[in-house]
Structure 1
Amino acid sequence: MTEKIEFKFKSPEESPGYLLGQLTTLWQRKLKKVLDPLNVTQTQFVLLASLGWLSRENDNVTQVDIANQGNADRMMVSKVLRTLEEKKFISRQEHQTDTRAKVIKLTIEGAKVLQKALTAVENADINFFSALDKNLILFNQNMISLIQQNKNE
């Protein structure tokens, strides 16, 4: 006879972690559908979008800046940026003052792909989260609170 397993929640639908996992899987599947035709993965899109966002304020965006913006692992960012460079979506140049850093810039092709991806992802987000209607603002605020609370753990 096997040991009885005790669950804190009466059903999976009462577990916020389970629900978040299910929602994330569905959302990632939707994004994959819109990003695949652009030859961009979701991770590549996030880093391109971070670069695009940061470049609006700073001409010397570094790999570390991109990792910090996306709350991402620096080694993973490095590998993905290499792939984006191979695809000719970004360029890396020597930093003028920090010899250890590279300045990351969108290429013309990268900017075109990012704009198409932004439009596709934003439309997918609007569609995906439309069921929340007026509750979307509260949903976003709750996610921000959870991110801030758990960011440094």
Structure 2
Amino acid sequence: MKKDDNAFSVDAAEESPGFLLWQVTSLWQRAIRKALEKYDLTHSQFVLLASTLWLTQQDEPVTQILLSAHSKIDPMTTSTVLRTLQTKGLLQRKEHATDTRAKTVALTENGEKVTRQAIKVVEKFDKDFFEPLGAKTSEFNRKLRLLLEQ
């Protein structure tokens, strides 16, 4: 039987990088959600908290737009998540000293404590989750960075 070029191939799905990435991402997200439950954080909230902590160590004010660019979370979602984190008392947002359109972001004392605890849990989780890659983890990370650079 002649194969139709437009026909969907079941075998092809197992070799589709997008489908495989989606499956692995779904597994990873489900498990990371469970790991972060005890901190009452979504993964997006964790990413923005951890990014705030990391960017605070650089010598420039942490702004919402900088957080958005660093985390690859769109600006509107970033703003919404930051507002939620502010309500939880984990960070504070203030007017920027020189740019009236911008807001600076800083962790509260409790926010820094929770973030540091959650980072340890997430790092352990990632180590365990990606352990099957073994010595190929660095190569895997390098290839993921290639995709981010597009």
Report if TM-score (shorter chain) is over 0.5. yes
Matches of 1:144 and 1:108, distance apart in 2: 32
Give TM-score, length-normalised by structure 1: 0.91
Matches of 1:77 and 1:14, distance apart in 2: 34
Matches of 1:89 and 1:123, distance apart in 2: 22
Task: List aligned pairs for 1:1-153, cutoff 5 A.
Answer: 6-7=7-8, 10-149=11-150
> Deviation per CA, 1:37-70, whole angstroms, max 9, x where unpaired?
1011000001111111110013521100100101
Matches of 1:9 and 1:66, distance apart in 2: 40
Structure 2, gaps ≥5 residues long: none
CA contact (8 A) 1:90 1:104 kept: yes
The aligned amino acid for 1:138 is: E
Count of aligned pairs: 146
Percent of aligned pairs sharing the same letter: 43
Matches of 1:141 and 1:77, distance apart in 2: 26
> Deviation per CA, 1:4-54, whole angstroms, max 9, x where unpaired?
861267332111111000000011111111101101100000111111111
Give TM-score, length-normalised by structure 2: 0.92
Cα RMSD (Å): 1.5
Structure 1, gaps ≥5 residues long: none
